[in-house]
Amino acid sequence: MLQPRSYRLLSSLSSAAPRSFVPAVSATLRCRSSRPYSIHADASVGTKIQGIDPSKLTIERTKTPKSLLPPEQLIFGRNFTDHMLSLEWTATEGWLPARITPYQNLSLDPATCVFHYAFECFEGMKAYKDKSGNIRLFRPDRNMARLNKSSARIALPTFDPEAMIDLIGKFVKLDERFIPDARGYSLYLRPTMIGTQRTLGVGPPASALLYVIASPVGPYYPTGFKAVSLEATDYAVRAWPGGVGDKKLGANYAPCIVPQMQAASRGFHQNLWLFGEEEYITEVGTMNLFVALKNKETGKPELLTAPLDGTILEGVTRDSVLGLARERLVPKGWNVVERKVTMKEIADAADEGRMMEVFGAGTAAIVSPVRRISWKGRMVECGLEDNVEAGPIAQQMKDWMEAIQYGDEEHPWR
Amino acid sequence: MLQPRSYRLLSSLSSAAPRSFVPAVSATLRCRSSRPYSIHADASVGTKIQGIDPSKLTIERTKTPKSLLPPEQLIFGRNFTDHMLSLEWTATEGWLPARITPYQNLSLDPATCVFHYAFECFEGMKAYKDKSGNIRLFRPDRNMARLNKSSARIALPTFDPEAMIDLIGKFVKLDERFIPDARGYSLYLRPTMIGTQRTLGVGPPASALLYVIASPVGPYYPTGFKAVSLEATDYAVRAWPGGVGDKKLGANYAPCIVPQMQAASRGFHQNLWLFGEEEYITEVGTMNLFVALKNKETGKPELLTAPLDGTILEGVTRDSVLGLARERLVPKGWNVVERKVTMKEIADAADEGRMMEVFGAGTAAIVSPVRRISWKGRMVECGLEDNVEAGPIAQQMKDWMEAIQYGDEEHPWR
């Protein structure tokens, strides 16, 4: 529709017009010609409406506590804890008091905008139990900052990260019995924001729901690393400059499933998403990608990953791997570089004996070693001997990360 | 996650493995270099599971019929009829019997995949009441074919279009009292498909829900055409070759809202989405765009619109406008051309006195005349005198379309 009906519609939803629905978007993207593009919330006004007040949290405990599954039967994202955390938002009232309730279905009008226009974004984060039985969240400030960016990009509300971390902490504490007391286990947390306005008009939602559910999970590799094979994908494109590939939106996921099924049908675990005629590597499945190789000129070892140019997700694990590499690999003579890397560079390194290792990085597996990549009808081997499932850097990163996550090592990220 | 956990997950959802979840995707896309790319469902097997059987429809009538709103109070997509049509699908059982029930909320687990990964697509179509009081659907086969394409592209199930049109006809008949008996009024139908699998694993949903809701609507321009102003948008990009911009997915909508709000804040009704360094025109808001101008060389009138190259929606109204133009304008000396058109061509035509008119085309408004386009700091005037709200072609198209939609003229599209 050309007429901005939705704006008029919004006003009719409540007696007062939405005074301050002002997503503060400020994402900088970069196009092929390197001209910077920006999405600024020029419409921002900033009238103060009610923020999240953690002191108003109400808790309704379940009357039918679930029995715990044996740890070895836990499946990612399939079983959930007793409770959920929910916060409703309206354009006129702001954030209503947070509630912890028994885990329960959402009841939504079939015209609700989340079902039609993908007003939805989420986060993936984990809570760990340390040796002393304390619960630790790993870099939750990063996840909350990213959720705010994602939400604002699709005209959903933002929130105070500190208040939300406070609430998530109370929720995890309440359900902590679901976290198995063993190394490799954790509680996967899924903060989710959805638009809940009941109208088919295409416009900024005047109401939203932010909720958090929690799924206990076991080690990603219960019997040790298992290297994967990738299919370099050019016929389907995950993200582009000026798009939303750097935000954790539902919109980025459904379109990737058919290419994933097609790669699987040809024997590959995941897609390696290429971009542009240059065939730059971007992401692998739903992880960021790291490549370790010896520099062609200097012979020095380099750890490479794609830059945050708007086409890849700003992974918290990616950032953590980069941080650890700069702190602990650079002193050993490594270069750690965020730059555009072509698929051809990777193939050349493999052909010339300069390839060291390749691995994905994400919340679920921390690191996921790559054995080979199918590209243009050939196989690019990624430096692993046949009987080896992970390179030394991938192994080192996993050990370093877990030591911080489980509190063996005191670190500001915990 | 690199490991194809979701595939294993699926098997655990029911005692039998999903035998035949085989979305038949066959979308051909074309990239910048004109090399054709295809997404084929190589994994297709085609084991037969239960299709839609309209004879198994059950109807539960509402016990609390709504009172009808005065026609002038109808707002697009805000008020709905008494009933809804729903069909559940599972990977193991196929389509379960269709149900017409009272309009009611959906109750879904908060882990349902539609909330997280945008497994959702929809259609917009209308039912009209003709002079004799008969209900007419306008080209429903087109909408059903497109819904199948959209659904398959995101690994949701497909269905028999004829069976679904049969069911929609019965649903509309049941709620026909909601269609005001006056020219310009109609029943907007919203077929919607969502993934309903209750797990956070990223993979093809093993269950889905197809539902249809209906909203009575009045004339888009109750007091006659009102020409709109557009902002040519290059900093945000709606679609990309190899992406899903040609499918009616929820994923294509939420990311467009902030740019729309920004255009509105600068006084423009909608975005005109440009693509690439060449600044090709693609879509306007959620409509296709038509440009009428005099050819620079020949002086002949031309009706231009962007081609179906994978970056624009395959609009049913677009196709209808093209069909009518070829049937009724070409004999009058017009050229009707689907080709890539740059923003500069439009500006040149305006500067050189060759611009005739510009209009959007979509289900809601049929045609929507454009007064001017803001581009690179200047205004491109689109051929309308100050006191005129529509050009002759836009007016003619609306009259021709309505004559068919309301059955004044017998036509195979009705």
Q: Is the domain of A68 the same as that of A198?
A: yes
**Number of structural domains found in chain A:** 2
Q: Is residue A242 part of a domain?
A: yes
| Burial of A88 from C-beta contacts in 10 A (0-12 / 13-18 / 19+) | middle
User: Coil, helix or strand for B109?
Assistant: coil
Which of A156, A183, A217 is the C-terminal boundary of a domain? A217
Residues near B183 by beta carbon (within 8 Å), at least 6 away in sequence = B219, B402, B406
Q: Is residue A191 part of a domain?
A: yes
Q: Is the domain of B148 the same as that of B117?
A: yes
Label residue A48 by pLDDT band (50, 70, 90).
low
User: Coil, helix or strand for B115?
Assistant: helix
Q: Is the domain of A133 the same as that of A252?
A: no
Model confidence over A280-308: pLDDT tens digits?
Answer: 999 998 899 999 999 999 999 999 999 99
Q: Is the domain of B183 the same as that of B285?
A: no
Calculated CA dihedral for residues A90, A92, A98, A104, nearest 10 degrees: -30
Which of A217, A237, A255 is the C-terminal boundary of a domain? A217
Instruction: Output b/e per residue, A371-409; b: 16+ Cβ within 10 A.
Output: bbbbbeeeebebbbeeeebbbebbbbbbebbbebbbbee
Q: Is the domain of A306 the same as that of A265?
A: yes
**B252, A251: Cβ pair inside 8 Å?**
yes
Q: Which helix (H) or strand (E) segment is B392 a member of?
A: helix B392-405
Model confidence over B150-195: pLDDT tens digits?
Answer: 999 999 999 999 999 999 999 999 999 999 888 889 999 999 999 9
Q: Is residue A19 part of a domain?
A: no
Give the mutation candidate from B200, B207, B217, B233 for the A interface (greatest A CB count, under 10 A).
B200
Q: Is residue B2 part of a domain?
A: no
**A108, B106: Cβ pair inside 8 Å?**
yes
Kindly report the number of other CB atoms within 10 A of residue A105's CB atom: 13
Q: Is the domain of B195 the same as that of B258?
A: no
B284 in reach of chain A (CB within 8 A):
yes
Which of A217, A247, A265 is the C-terminal boundary of a domain? A217
**B254, A119: Cβ pair inside 8 Å?**
yes
Q: Is the domain of A300 the same as that of A342?
A: yes
Q: Is the domain of A243 the same as that of A387?
A: yes
Q: Is residue B174 part of a domain?
A: yes
What ipTM describes this predicted complex? 0.89
B150 in reach of chain A (CB within 8 A):
no
Q: Is the domain of A184 the same as that of A242?
A: no
Q: Is residue A29 part of a domain?
A: no
Q: Is residue B246 part of a domain?
A: yes
Q: Is the domain of B234 the same as that of B213?
A: no
Residue A377's CATH number: 3.20.10.10
Which chain A residues are within 8 Å of B278, Cβ to Cβ? none
Residues near A332 by beta carbon (within 8 Å), at least 6 away in sequence = none
pLDDT tens track of chain B, all 414 residues?
Answer: 333 333 332 223 233 322 222 223 333 222 233 333 334 333 333 445 799 999 999 999 999 999 999 998 999 999 999 999 999 999 999 999 999 999 999 999 999 999 999 999 999 999 999 988 999 999 999 999 999 999 999 999 999 999 999 999 999 999 999 998 888 899 999 999 999 999 999 999 999 999 999 999 998 888 889 999 999 999 999 999 999 999 999 999 999 999 999 999 999 999 999 999 999 999 998 899 999 999 999 999 999 999 999 999 999 999 999 999 999 999 999 999 999 999 999 999 999 999 999 999 999 889 999 999 999 999 999 999 999 999 999 999 999 999 999 999 989 987
pLDDT value at position A36? 31
By residue count, chain A amounts to: 414
Residue A117's CATH number: 3.30.470.10
CA distance B294 to chain A (A): 25
B111 in reach of chain A (CB within 8 A):
yes
Query: Which domain range does residue B111 map to?
Result: 58-217
Label residue A221 by pLDDT band (50, 70, 90).
confident
**Which chain A residues in 358-387 lie under 8 Å from chain B, judged by CB atoms?**
360, 362, 364-365, 368, 370
Nearest to A111 by CA among B362, B188, B363, B264: B188
Considering only CB atoms, B118 lies closest to which of A107, A153, A250, namely A250
Label residue A46 by pLDDT band (50, 70, 90).
very low
